[in-house]
């Protein structure tokens, strides 16, 4: 449960921050379905709706597929809608997500990233949210609990803009943000109202003006038209987001861009990441900088629309760039690497070397040592080398641990024995 009055700095989890974002946005309708690690969001909202702190209708649906459909239908009718999901839930609702994006209706959904089954897991990586990459939904990836809250408010401004009219998904990492408390500045209701006016979209379904929405299109040219309109609306969202972010800075004092740079000014080597693990990269960069390495970070905040110009401008002239993907497309490698590489391939200036790493799958830590490895690879690489695959950030210690567990799984006579340093050791 979360505190009652906005407008103060307080300790909030990412989930509580998301709920506060929805509350301050004065959402009117919340269709919900529980899934770990998102459930706290809807529990907070349900309590506020039941207690009268939030004048919204809260409805528990029968699945994410139904939930997203209901969210889209309510948004199409004219309500300000909020919902949240995670992982398997996002994939279960994926068909509906494409559908409501195709309706071109504004709603905001928080996705709490969690690795996808099978094997089923609870900790985060970004394959869930990237499975929604081409749905037409705008994607904002948050690094901190503060950013989760602020992004929800920003998201409504973008989604509801007549130039855009698309759903926005705000993404945060399960556990690392969802269940982690950190100080968050909660805007006052007045600040929120100044930034985001009351919902005022003209109701679309009404007796006096019947219309057919989401109708079938049985012709390639028509389908191309409507699908490409979604693309143009996404492109328009880049500027709309910039405008909203400028307003937000004026009112709340925090500035968000499509990408975020950390110690990039004189950086020769740049790491590219998204989500909360970027915080680990910052710490590593500080250490490596203290050792004299000119390293920086480019954090991708907006994944859709893809901020190609900002990416090219930030990376084109570097000596080396490494994309660390917290996702894996089996048979290809890291997904965002492909997008960064495609952007740089078309830009006038390209970095000397470009490398792909995959790390943090299923919430596995990326340690300072692993960041150091990435930077060492970049520093040593020359541009004559080509066609490197994605390297997995996975240490010998990780391997030892996996091996011992595999032994336990495969051989009944294996026993785990406590070793001297307190860690388990496996003996056959």
Residues at the interface with other proteins (CB under 8 A): 28-29, 31, 55-57, 59-63, 65-67, 69-79, 95-96, 99, 102-104, 162-163, 165, 199-200, 203, 205-220, 222, 225-226, 228-229, 232-233, 235-236
Task: Give min distance, CB of 56 to other proteins, in A.
Answer: 8
- In the three-class reduction of DSSP (H, G, I as helix; E, B as strand; rest coil), residue 242 is classed as helix
Task: Give min distance, CB of 84 to other proteins, in A.
Answer: 16
- In the three-class reduction of DSSP (H, G, I as helix; E, B as strand; rest coil), residue 319 is classed as coil
Whose tokens are 């207690």? That residue is 51
- In the three-class reduction of DSSP (H, G, I as helix; E, B as strand; rest coil), residue 424 is classed as strand
Task: Give min distance, CB of 4 to other proteins, in A.
Answer: 23
CB nearer other proteins, residue 216 or residue 417: 216
Task: Give min distance, CB of 66 to other proteins, in A.
Answer: 3
Measured distance CA(138)–CA(140) in Å, rounded: 7
What is the CB neighbour count within 10 angstroms for residue 162? Answer: 10
Measured distance CA(271)–CA(53) in Å, rounded: 43
CB nearer other proteins, residue 213 or residue 419: 213
Task: Give min distance, CB of 87 to other proteins, in A.
Answer: 19
CB nearer other proteins, residue 141 or residue 241: 241
Measured distance CA(327)–CA(122) in Å, rounded: 15
CB nearer other proteins, residue 210 or residue 331: 210
CB nearer other proteins, residue 216 or residue 409: 216
CB nearer other proteins, residue 200 or residue 290: 200
Task: Give min distance, CB of 139 to other proteins, in A.
Answer: 20
Task: Give min distance, CB of 100 to other proteins, in A.
Answer: 9
Measured distance CA(324)–CA(152) in Å, rounded: 25
Task: Give min distance, CB of 147 to other proteins, in A.
Answer: 28
Query: CA–CA distance from 51 to each of 4, 10, 38, 71, 412 (Å)?
Result: 11, 21, 21, 22, 54
Residue 180 DSSP one-character state: -
Measured distance CA(356)–CA(388) in Å, rounded: 8
Measured distance CA(221)–CA(183) in Å, rounded: 51
Residue 325 DSSP one-character state: E
CB nearer other proteins, residue 116 or residue 233: 233
Task: Give min distance, CB of 70 to other proteins, in A.
Answer: 4
**210-218, long-range: CB within 8 Å, 24+ apart, which pairs?**
213/76, 213/103, 214/76, 214/99, 214/102, 214/103
CB nearer other proteins, residue 134 or residue 385: 134
140 forms bridges with which residues in the sheet?
A: 170, 302
Task: Give min distance, CB of 207 to other proteins, in A.
Answer: 4
Render 127-145 in DSSP notation, one character per residue: HHHHHTTTSS-EEEE-SSH
Question: Which candidate, 240, 284, 232, 241, places its Cα nearest to that of 259?
Answer: 241
CB nearer other proteins, residue 227 or residue 255: 227
CB nearer other proteins, residue 9 or residue 57: 57
Tokens of 20: 């506060």
Question: For residue 172, which phi and psi values (nearest 5 degrees)?
Answer: -135, 160
């Amino acid at each position: 449960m979360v505190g009652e009055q906005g407008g103060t700095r307080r300790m909030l989890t990412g989930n509580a921050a998301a709920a506060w974002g929805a509350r301050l946005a004065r959402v009117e309708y919340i269709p919900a379905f529980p899934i770990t690690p998102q459930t706290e969001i809807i529990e907070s909202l349900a309590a506020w709706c039941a207690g009268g702190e939030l004048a919204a209708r809260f409805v528990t649906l029968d699945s994410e597929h139904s939930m997203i459909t209901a969210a889209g239908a309510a948004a199409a009718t004219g309500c300000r809608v909020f919902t949240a999901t995670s992982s398997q839930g996002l994939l279960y609702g994926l068909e509906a997500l494409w559908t409501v994006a195709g309706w071109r209706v504004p709603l905001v959904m928080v996705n709490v990233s969690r690795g996808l089954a099978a094997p089923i897991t609870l900790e985060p990586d970004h394959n869930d949210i990237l499975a929604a990459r081409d749905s037409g939904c705008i994607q904002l990836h948050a690094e901190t609990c503060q950013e989760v809250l602020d992004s929800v408010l920003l998201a409504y401004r973008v989604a509801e803009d007549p130039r855009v009219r698309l759903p926005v998904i705000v993404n945060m990492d399960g556990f690392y943000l969802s269940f982690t408390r950190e100080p968050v500045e909660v805007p006052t209701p007045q600040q929120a109202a100044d930034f985001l006016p009351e919902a005022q979209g003209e109701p679309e379904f009404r007796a006096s003006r019947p219309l057919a929405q989401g109708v079938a299109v049985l012709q390639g040219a028509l389908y191309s038209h409507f699908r490409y309109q979604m693309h143009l609306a996404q492109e328009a969202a880049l500027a709309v987001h910039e405008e909203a972010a400028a307003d937000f800075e004026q009112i709340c004092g925090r500035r968000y861009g499509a990408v975020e740079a950390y110690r990039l000014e004189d950086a020769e080597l740049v790491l590219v990441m998204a989500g909360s693990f970027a915080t680990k990269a910052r710490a590593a960069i500080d250490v490596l900088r203290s050792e004299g390495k000119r390293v920086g970070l480019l954090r991708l905040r907006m994944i859709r629309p893809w901020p190609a110009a900002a990416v090219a401008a930030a990376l084109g002239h570097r000596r080396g760039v490494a994309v660390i993907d917290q996702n894996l497309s089996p048979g290809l490698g890291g997904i965002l690497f492909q997008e960064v590489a495609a952007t740089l391939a078309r830009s006038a200036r390209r970095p000397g070397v470009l490398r792909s790493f995959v790390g943090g799958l299923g919430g596995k830590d990326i340690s300072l040592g692993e960041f150091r490895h990435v930077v060492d690879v970049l520093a040593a690489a020359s541009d004559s080398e080509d066609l490197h695959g994605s390297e997995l950030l996975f240490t010998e210690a990780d391997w030892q641990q996996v091996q011992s567990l595999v032994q336990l799984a495969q051989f009944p006579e294996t026993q785990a024995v406590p070793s001297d340093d307190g860690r388990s050791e496996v003996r056959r």
